[in-house]
Chain A
């Protein structure tokens, strides 16, 4: 007994892998290999697994007493709640058609998995108060779930409804729930099978109980068996088959007297039914009428088994009370029928038409007849063969005669029915010949060997009799092949005959013509060992040191180490029953998937013992299953249909700044959401440690980057469109590897986006337009100002050359010249100064208030000479004001002149004009009103002109106030030269 313990520790978890090789025991002969056991624990606290589940990607989940765990073949990872630290006991897991994972708990709660975290789901109707035991989804995509004590619930149009006793359910404790092909549901209860239907919107329950032939009330498991039939697991009476079309129950003969107690779970894998029991371990049954065999892994496996599940590679998973357990099931079976001394003599092996196994022995052959419960062996001694004779090849022809090829003793023929045999001595060449291989197809038998043996026998009806002569052709002298070792001769389905030689390549005989395929035609190696033909008609052959070749009729394609072949010392090449090419290696099997070129491996990690290196020791049964001899017995490899032999790549999660995001939809991110972490797995439970990865971030990387890590991060990505690719392989060859992708876009920041730039350009254009417009407006305003100014000047000039003014001034002057000549001179000086100021200031927009005051005072001097003390001017303005404030020229002069012009000035009614600043903001000119008998014309032109000018110079308006007693003009004070109005 060989026992291999490997212990790994990964973080908090550890798992135990046990690869079993050999055992002795009662009952079934075969042992299933690939047994592995994993302990699920945290902080040395083990958990109980309640349920196992496989999602659409093939990922396995375990619902435990400590919450939900995902299992990638190496680690268990707890799926936590996003908003709770609860570790509710999980009792059911399911994935619906939208890939939504649902979790049911012992406390009746429901949760959904969103971005790799659990979130409670709370329907309006509330959740059950008892454990959720199973989920199902009907054909209308409504979700159903069964409970342990409340019956079966279902969702319809967002409401939750219930099947219970009132609806006819025979029991409320449901163990299992399955949607039938018809569309109704089967529920396993303690009181028979309940068929639940909603035909016509009405609830209907039909009960299948012992009255209908069910052997047991208590139903524990239901599993589809195809054609709307279902395997039913029972509490006491084993299992039975329920046909939903006919409503009948049938009991397999081997289950009539069931003694293995409660069945917990059932699983169909190809033709096999696997049965997990409460106390007696695992069983399997190869067909309805076949016996039920106990599964043996080499140790006592008589324990509680639950939750059978098959992974995508065909391995069978289950749990014992303490462990999660896997087995390769029927993929690899070992029959320990011989001991070491027998094994030492095995150089060739043959599976005959009755699937009995023949092996070479000392001085003859041994035949093993394998049955479910054991085997019988019989030795066939052949005179002429002794212990030293090396039997290299065995072949059974269409008349069931066994051809025995030997080293140095030629070929013997044996009738397996009678035991009659003879030496094939028709040709003297064969008498002492050394045969390397015997193959054949139909009535053709090909024998190749040393010293020019290249014989092709044509069998005829007469050869039913072993003693009759055989017709044959020897090709030893054609095309120089005869001087060589002929390792193998192969006749393909197109009647071509392929000769594989030692050092001279291949010679093909097609339609009577020979052609040579060798190094000169492109082969890397001229030593050709054996041929096989795949289901598509391609010819495959293996070479001594350059791997294998595929010939599709036109080209040769080489598969070597780089393509994933584990070892170039290939023992034999066979086409497996599902069409894959199987390379028998010293350490096990390389399986080449001819659809995608990927290679997978079965080796000592699955418990395969040392393989016999004789090319003749590999054979195939009538199903095409590969049979080889190993140091521990006969090994049968049976691939499982609809399984994959490569890692399936899955992006487990995508994190943005270490927070999970939805990986199911393409991502769209802002420029500052730019740091990503990808976690991925190549799901390959057969050998999870051997998965290699390559990733590429399209948009950043151009080449694939190899890694053994299962995560990669990208920090501070530039804006752009990205496609993350990851693929996984069991070798360095990634051609045909399964790939997973995630697409995402990082947007440019707002200021780099086209629309923003365009908007900016438009806004800039608008600004310039607005500026131009305002310039234009300003310009017009200037022009208007200019015009006003000219008009004002004209007004002023016209006023000042008013003949009345001059006349009055000259009259004053005349009277003064006589009285006081000196004063007359001063008067004339003032008069001329006044006119000079008018001329000086008329071109200016504004002048300082001081300058204007001096003009006013000059004017006042001239007028006072005429009116004497009847006219008074009071100016109350500080020097600072005079310097720092401004006024359009001759404004005050005009107002003073107006005051004198419009009012009577006499001793009875003197005119008082006052000019002062109010609140530092306004300049006030006020005079009392002395109505005149005869009004002088003025038409208010001057005042209106002032108002217009101020409108152009200041925001503040000019106010004119006439209350009948005083006349007041309030002018805004212009504080400074604040615009370009002044430089004209």
Chain B
């Protein structure tokens, strides 16, 4: 259910953009998300390169989404199982997403390095949290490279950690996003 708004927005952006200015829509060609839990007893790192997303330069709106069960690189298969079944419940909430609007004005037709901030709804584990996320954007020859680092509090998304793994799982997860967008 949670993914519906994201998809709706997704299609809205695409449709409306097509209607008005079809050449100002960008979509993710390659994109990865890496998360990192730096707990006292264990470092867990996993990543997925199945990031999908779309950005309307004219409306400054965007939507990004990823399949939760596509994350790989856990320390053990059991850990990955716990991640999917116990914490993220990926069968119930198969996707995580971030959709919203860029705060700053920026000119996508100009090459250069920009620091921008996006305000939007971050959906993880079915819980929607409004967030501001800072991104570094590099535009070169029509390719938009996006890089961003931010943190997510597990408690913000109703992800409860059993006491026994407190020392093995950080309460704040560091997330790194890298993506390249090209004009559609």
Contacts and interface: CB of A to CB of B under 8 A. Distances in A.
Contacts of B101: 166
B24 interface: no
A164 B104 contact: no
A407 interface: no
A107 to B, nearest CB: 13
B103 A159 contact: no
A124 B151 contact: yes
Interface of A: 124-126, 128-129, 150, 157, 159-162, 164, 166, 203
B130 A161 contact: yes
A125 B132 contact: yes
B132 A162 contact: yes
B43 interface: no
A162 B133 CA distance: 11
B21 interface: no
B36 interface: no
Given A124-B134, A161-B132, A162-B132, A129 B150 contact: no
A162 B115 contact: no
A164 B119 contact: yes
A851 to B, nearest CB: 74
B52 interface: no
Contact of B150 (A124, A128, A164, A166): A124
30 contacts: A124-B134, A124-B150, A124-B151, A125-B117, A125-B132, A125-B133, A125-B134, A126-B115, A126-B117, A126-B132, A126-B134, A129-B103, A129-B104, A150-B103, A157-B153, A157-B156, A159-B131, A159-B153, A160-B132, A161-B130, A161-B131, A161-B132, A162-B103, A162-B119, A162-B132, A164-B103, A164-B119, A166-B101, A166-B119, A203-B130
Given A150-B103, A159-B132, A164-B119, 8 more contacts: A124-B150, A126-B132, A128-B103, A160-B132, A161-B131, A162-B103, A166-B119, A203-B130
Contacts of B130: 161, 203
Contacts of A150: 103
Contacts of A166: 101, 119
Majority SS of interface residues in chain B? strand
A452 B132 CA distance: 88
Interface residues of B, number: 16
Nearest to B172: A158
A126 B115 CA distance: 9
Contacts of A164: 103, 119
Interface in B135-184: 149-151, 153, 156
Contacts of A162: 103, 119, 132
A321 B133 CA distance: 38
Contacts of B156: 157
Interface string B97-115: 0000101100000000001
Contacts of B103: 128-129, 150, 162, 164
A163 to B, nearest CB: 10
A167 to B, nearest CB: 9
Contacts of A160: 132
B63 to A, nearest CB: 15
A203 B104 CA distance: 21
Contacts of A128: 103
A5 B144 CA distance: 64
A124 B175 CA distance: 12
A201 to B, nearest CB: 10
Nearest to A125: B132
A161 B121 CA distance: 11
A164 B132 CA distance: 12
A203 to B, nearest CB: 8
Nearest to A122: B134
A125 B103 CA distance: 11
Sorted nearest first, the 4 A-B pairs with minimum C-beta distance are A126-B134, A125-B132, A126-B117, A162-B119
Interface in B60-108: 101, 103-104
Contacts of A203: 130
Nearest to B133: A125
A168 to B, nearest CB: 13
Nearest to A160: B132
Tell which of A126, A129, A150 has the most Cβ of chain B within 10 Å: A126
Nearest to B103: A150
B149 to A, nearest CB: 8
Contacts of B134: 124-126
B160 to A, nearest CB: 17
A663 B101 CA distance: 44
B13 to A, nearest CB: 15
Nearest to B129: A159
Contacts of B149: 124
A327 B91 CA distance: 70
B133 to A, nearest CB: 7
Nearest to B104: A129
A396 B156 CA distance: 73
B155 to A, nearest CB: 9
A136 to B, nearest CB: 19
Nearest to B101: A166
Tell which of A124, A157, A164 has the most Cβ of chain B within 10 Å: A124
Contacts of B150: 124-125
Nearest to B130: A161
Nearest to A166: B101
A157 B130 CA distance: 13
A12 B117 CA distance: 41
A752 to B, nearest CB: 38
B107 to A, nearest CB: 14
Tell which of B101, B134, B150 has the most Cβ of chain A within 10 Å: B134
B151 to A, nearest CB: 6
B56 to A, nearest CB: 15
Contacts of A124: 134, 149-151
Tell which of B103, B134, B149, B156 has the most Cβ of chain A within 10 Å: B103
Tell which of B101, B130, B132, B156 has the most Cβ of chain A within 10 Å: B132
A164 B117 CA distance: 13
Contacts of B132: 125-126, 159-162
A42 B78 CA distance: 67
Nearest to A164: B119
Nearest to A203: B130
B67 to A, nearest CB: 25
Contacts of B115: 126
Contacts of B131: 125, 159, 161
A161 B119 CA distance: 8
A150 B133 CA distance: 15
Interface string B11-33: 00000000000000000000000
A128 B134 CA distance: 11
A161 B104 CA distance: 15
A556 B115 CA distance: 74
A157 B129 CA distance: 13
A196 to B, nearest CB: 14
A128 B117 CA distance: 8
B123 to A, nearest CB: 16
B130 to A, nearest CB: 6
Contacts of A125: 117, 131-134, 150
Interface string B115-126: 101010000000
A575 B130 CA distance: 60
Contacts of A157: 153, 156
B35 to A, nearest CB: 15
A580 B179 CA distance: 72
A125 B151 CA distance: 10
Contacts of B104: 129
A161 to B, nearest CB: 6
A129 B118 CA distance: 12
Nearest to A172: B103
A221 to B, nearest CB: 26
A128 B133 CA distance: 12
Nearest to A159: B131
A126 B103 CA distance: 11
Nearest to A153: B132
A793 to B, nearest CB: 71
Nearest to B151: A124
